[in-house]
């Protein structure tokens, strides 16, 4: 082996160590960069004929567990979906009020006000107190209904924002892939671009859980958890959705007017899977419409059961009282809770709370007959108050005849939703159960988010241990590289000395 070859080998060693030091420095510098993975520059023996010709630096590589990345993306989809649910449902929970302020509590308070009024039916103060209790109850129904509709509009707006973000992330994956494929074909390193692409895919999975299937040429195929193949389009994203202003009667599908999430001309709203977009669609199309329907059922029965006994205490904006036995979707009382109010005639003359507002005819299986207390009638008239306490607020419309059941099927503006509130009989019982179910939804979403978040944290820790940058490890590697550099430099120095000796000998 000649001195020239020895010098060449030592210089290749120095060049390789330089490349490794540069990569270690880059690793340390990007240790806190989101999505960055540890890169390694391996050496490859260089051979000339039968002789070693030193070392050649290979392209930088990374060690990423694709299965672990898929698990992280799934956990990320669940975590972010639960977070968006908890955020939107929080407004509904708050609208139900603190202890003593919910429709269940205020229904009980209205009953207490009538109990007090029965003790002295002619007392104007007690009559006013009962009217105030009715107004507080109606106001709470209005507040909760407004909160539900606000959350539902926020879900629609969030879907529009998510589709825009989803398209942007897909375009980014497409652009990066178009850069990776030709570089891979030339044998050049693409690890930095792959890190960026993985970060974009993680952003996609937050919105819609996807699995990335790597291709031999460096390309990637994105498949959603629901089996959708996401086309990579760098010009414009493949998804679209129209904008909409929602009302309580708005719905998606069938003859509904709400826009769906479109992919290549097909409505894929029902196939969004896990992620924030699917969570928002579920809130808009099922969870919040069901909450509104349950509230409307409660409000409609409240108005109807008082009206059936001779006291039109609650009405809608037009002064009407709905028939809660009619189909919810076609009965004309969608959104009734938002329109609920105390009858202006009662507010103008609170003695109607004692006397009644209208006569009631005997109905087989329904209420018994009732005649209002006439002008100048007994001041201690309690017939109506007893009917309110025993019948309107009780379990039976008349002795031995239960009230019509609270509707729990055929709900929602499309008539396709079903409620879990099936066994309630009285107004107070139904209202209390409704509050319990609707206020628990936010907490359940938060618990789901916590569980998914804990899993994501554990998976990210495992990923970091396998593919992330450990600064201590990099610094230790630098010490080793420093030693290797010194050894190669020493060889260069020795060869240089030998050359000097040779040149001195021939002078």
The pLDDT score that the predictor gives to residue 479 is 75
The pair of three-digit structure tokens given for residue 424, joined into one six-digit string:
């309630």
CA distances from 132 to 109, 135, 313, 420, 429 (A): 10, 5, 12, 31, 22
* CB 158 within 8 Å of CB 89: no
Picking from 109, 106, 113, 114, the residue whose alpha carbon sits closest to that of residue 388 is 114
Helix-helix angle 124-185:288-308, to 10 degrees: 160
Query: Which helix or strand (DSSP H or E) is residue 223 part of?
Result: strand 220-224
pLDDT digits (tens), the chain, 507 positions: 477 677 677 777 777 676 767 767 776 777 777 778 777 777 677 776 666 666 776 667 677 888 999 999 999 999 999 999 999 999 999 999 999 999 999 999 999 999 999 999 999 999 999 999 999 999 999 999 999 999 999 999 999 999 999 999 999 999 999 999 999 899 888 888 998 999 999 999 999 999 999 999 999 999 999 899 999 876 778 999 999 999 999 999 988 999 999 998 899 999 999 999 999 999 999 999 999 999 999 999 999 999 999 999 999 998 999 999 999 999 999 999 999 999 999 999 999 999 999 999 999 999 999 999 999 899 999 999 999 999 999 999 999 999 999 999 999 999 999 999 998 999 999 999 999 999 999 999 999 999 999 999 999 888 888 766 667 676 777 777 677 777 777 777 777 777 777 777 776
Distance (Å, whole) CA 349 – CA 466: 77
> Degrees (nearest 5) of the Cα angle 186, 191, 197?
110
Residue 429's Cβ-count burial label (10 Å; 0-12, 13-18, 19+) is middle
* CB 76 within 8 Å of CB 205: yes
At 222, phi and psi to the nearest 5? -105, 120
* CB 438 within 8 Å of CB 96: yes
The pLDDT score that the predictor gives to residue 51 is 66
The pLDDT score that the predictor gives to residue 454 is 96
The pLDDT score that the predictor gives to residue 248 is 96
Give first-to-last CA distance, the chain, whole Å. 24
Q: How many residues does the chain have?
A: 507
């Amino acid at each position: 082996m000649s001195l020239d070859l020895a010098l060449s080998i030592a210089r290749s060693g120095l060049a390789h160590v330089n490349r490794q030091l540069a990569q270690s420095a880059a690793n340390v510098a990007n240790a806190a960069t989101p999505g960055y993975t540890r890169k390694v520059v391996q050496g490859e023996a260089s051979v000339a004929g039968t002789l070693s010709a030193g070392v050649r630096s290979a392209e930088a590589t990374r060690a990423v567990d694709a299965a672990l990345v898929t698990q992280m993306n799934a956990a990320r989809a669940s975590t972010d979906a639960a977070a968006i649910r908890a955020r939107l449902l929080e407004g509904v929970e708050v609208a139900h009020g603190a202890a003593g302020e919910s429709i269940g509590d205020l229904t009980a308070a209205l009953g207490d006000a009538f109990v007090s009024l029965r003790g002295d039916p002619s007392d104007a103060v007690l009559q006013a107190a009962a009217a105030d209790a009715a107004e507080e109850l109606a106001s709470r129904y209005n507040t909760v209904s407004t909160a539900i509709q606000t959350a539902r509009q926020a879900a629609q707006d969030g879907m529009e924002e998510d589709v825009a973000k989803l398209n942007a992330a897909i375009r980014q994956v497409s652009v990066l892939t178009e850069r990776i494929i030709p570089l891979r074909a030339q044998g050049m390193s693409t690890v930095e671009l792959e890190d960026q692409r993985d970060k974009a895919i993680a952003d996609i999975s937050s919105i819609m859980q996807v699995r990335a299937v790597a291709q031999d040429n460096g390309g990637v195929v994105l498949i959603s958890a629901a089996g959708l193949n996401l086309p990579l389009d760098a010009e414009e994203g493949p998804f679209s959705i129209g904008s909409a202003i929602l009302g309580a009667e708005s719905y998606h599908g069938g003859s509904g007017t709400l826009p769906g999430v479109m992919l290549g001309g097909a409505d894929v709203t029902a196939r969004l899977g896990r992620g924030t977009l699917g969570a928002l669609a579920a809130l808009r199309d099922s969870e919040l419409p069901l909450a509104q329907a349950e509230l409307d059922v409660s409000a409609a029965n409240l108005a109807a059961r008082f009206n059936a006994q001779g006291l039109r205490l609650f009405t809608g904006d037009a002064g009407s009282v709905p028939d809660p036995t009619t189909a919810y979707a076609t009965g004309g009382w969608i959104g009734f809770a938002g329109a609920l109010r105390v009858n202006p005639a009662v507010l103008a003359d609170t003695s109607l709370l004692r006397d009644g507002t209208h006569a009631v005819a005997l109905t087989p299986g329904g209420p018994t007959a009732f005649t209002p207390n006439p002008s100048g009638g007994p001041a201690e008239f309690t017939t109506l108050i007893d009917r309110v306490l025993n019948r309107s607020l009780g379990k039976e419309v008349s002795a031995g005849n239960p009230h019509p059941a609270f509707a729990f099927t055929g709900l929602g503006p499309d008539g396709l939703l079903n409620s879990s509130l099936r066994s309630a009989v009285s107004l107070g019982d139904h209202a209390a159960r409704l509050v319990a179910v609707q206020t628990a939804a936010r907490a359940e979403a938060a618990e789901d988010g916590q569980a998914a978040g804990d899993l994501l944290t554990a998976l990210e820790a495992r990923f970091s241990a396998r593919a992330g940058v450990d600064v201590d490890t990099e610094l230790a590697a630098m010490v080793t590289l420093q030693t290797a550099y010194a050894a190669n430099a020493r060889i260069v120095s020795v060869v240089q000395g030998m050359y000097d000796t040779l040149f001195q000998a021939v002078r």
